[in-house]
Amino acid sequence: MTPTEPLTRGTAGPAAVRPPLPVKMVIAGGFGVGKTTTVGSISEIEPLTTEASITEVAAGVDDLTHTPRKTTTTVALDFGCITIDPTLKLYLFGTPGQERFGFMWDDIVEGAVGGLVIVDTRRLDDCYAAVDYFEHMDIPFAVAVNAFDGKVEHSLDEVRWALDVSDGVPVVVFDARERGSVRDALLVVLELALARTEQ
């Protein structure tokens, strides 16, 4: 029986369709790379965000060089969801980007089938921690280069080399503001996770 086939109890009562399978995915990356934007672009519900204003103290810790208009930052997590098809519903959990919130990652990532590590090619070093985390935890992940202002500073081969990720880690370009682009990036991770289960 497939998940889309109706479930019946004997001959009485109306047929019921199974609800979509809930699947958890983590959106990770450095400070200001577009995690909150990614979740907001694709979520079918009003996303839950834990944004706080960037104070003078935080501005002295977090590098705002490439994000001078950024006035808020995620201090816990972002949450949204999207129904992929009648059989699958994706729950998205965005991590905070600052290293000082790293203690929350284990709780956020628990139960996730995979992760999308978003990078800004102008500051690749900001995503090393996320890449290392997923590699250490042996969680399938893809690297998604956010095309700020419609462009990226380095080729995908250069990004792969700089991050030193294996050939089995997909590296793609996407636009965190575009729903279709975000969908395509998430599907890359889902396909990767599915391939892992079939091994």
pLDDT of residue 105: 77
pLDDT of residue 61: 46
What percent of the chain stands above pLDDT 70?
75
Could you report the per-residue pLDDT of 31-54, keeping only the tens digit for each? 889 999 999 999 999 988 765 554
pLDDT of residue 16: 67
Q: Could you tell me if residue 7 is left (phi over 0), alpha (psi between -120 and 50 degrees) or otherwise beta?
A: beta
Per-position DSSP letters for 106-136, written without gaps between them: HHHHTT-SEEEEEE-GGGGGGGHHHHHHHHH
Query: Which range (24-33, 66-75, 165-174, 177-186) has the least confidence?
Result: 66-75
Q: For residue 64, is pLDDT > 80?
A: no
Could you report the per-residue pLDDT of 148-172, keeping only the tens digit for each? 878 888 899 999 999 999 999 999 9
- pLDDT, mean over the chain: 82
| Vertex 133 angle, CA 130 and 149, to 5° | 15
Report the sign of the C-alpha dihedral through residues 66, 68, 74, 75, in that order: positive
Q: For residue 62, is pLDDT > 50?
A: no
Q: Between 149 and 109, whose confidence is greater?
A: 109
What percent of the chain stands above pLDDT 90?
56
Which pLDDT band, with edges at 50, 70 and 90, does 96 fall under? confident
pLDDT of residue 44: 96
pLDDT of residue 14: 56
Which pLDDT band, with edges at 50, 70 and 90, does 15 fall under? low
